[in-house]
Structure 1
Amino acid sequence: MTSISLSRPRRGAADGGPLSRVRAYLAFDGWGLLILPLLVFLLVFFVAPLGFMIAKSFTDPTLSLDNYREIFSASIYVKVLVNTFVIALTVTAVTMLLAYPYAYLMTISRPAWRNLLILLILVPFWTSVLVRSFALVLLLRDTGVINSIAMDIGVIDEPLSIMRSMKGVMFGMVQVALPFAVLPMYATMRNIDPRLTEAAQGLGDRPSGAFWRVFVPLSMPGVAAGLLLTFIQALGYYITPSLLGGPKNTMIGELIVQQVSTVLQFGFAAALAVLLLTTTFALLAIASRFMDLERMLMGRS
Structure 2
Amino acid sequence: MNEIAMSIASSNAAGLKSDGRREGLWMLAVTLPAVLLITLLVLLPMGWLSWLSLFDENGAFTLQNYARIFSSGAYVPIIINTFIISFAVTLLVSLLGYPIAYLMAQSSPKVTSLLLTAVLLPYWTPVLVRTYGWIAILQRNGPLNKVLVALGLVDGPVQFLYQTSGAIIGMTQIMLPYLIVPVYIALRSVDKDYLKAAAGLGASPTVAFWRIYFPLSLPGFAAGALLVFILSLGFYVVPALMGGGRVTMIAMRIERSVMVYPNWGAASALAIVLLVVTVLLLVISVRLARLGGNFR
Alignment of 1:141-180 (within 5 A): 141-151=139-149, 155-180=153-178
In the alignment, what sits opposite 1:118? 116
In the alignment, what sits opposite 2:189? 191
Question: Which shifted more, 89-98 or 283-292?
Answer: 283-292
Match of 2:46 among 47, 50, 57: 50
Pick closer, same or farther for the CA change 1:118–1:254 going to 2, 3 Å.
same
Pick closer, same or farther for the CA change 1:210–1:35 going to 2, 3 Å.
closer
1:40 Cα deviation (Å)? Answer: 3.7
Structure 1: segments with no counterpart, 5+ residues:
1-11, 14-22, 293-301
Match of 1:254 among 247, 252, 255: 252
Distance 1:173 1:231 in 2: 11
Distance 1:285 1:78 in 2: 23
> For the pair shown, which has the larger CA radius of gyration, 1 or 2?
2
In the alignment, what sits opposite 1:27? 24
Distance 1:35 1:85 in 2: 35
Matched, 1:200 2:211: no
Distance 2:22 2:47 in 1: 26
In the alignment, what sits opposite 1:235? 233
> Across the two proteins, how many residue pairs are aligned to each other?
272
1:36 Cα deviation (Å)? Answer: 4.4
- TM-score (norm. length: structure 2): 0.84
1:47 Cα deviation (Å)? Answer: 2.1
Distance 1:153 1:200 in 2: 44
Distance 2:125 2:134 in 1: 13
Distance 1:197 1:45 in 2: 46
Question: Which shifted more, 146-155 or 171-180?
Answer: 146-155
Structure 2: segments with no counterpart, 5+ residues:
1-12, 15-19, 291-296
Q: Deviation per CA, 1:87-114, whole angstroms, max 9, x where unpaired?
A: 1111111111111111100011122211
- TM-score (norm. length: structure 1): 0.83
Measured on the aligned residues, the alpha-carbon RMSD in Å equals 2.4
Q: Percent identity?
A: 38
Distance 1:36 1:193 in 2: 38
Q: Deviation per CA, 1:192-241, whole angstroms, max 9, x where unpaired?
A: 01121111111111111111111111111111111111111111111111
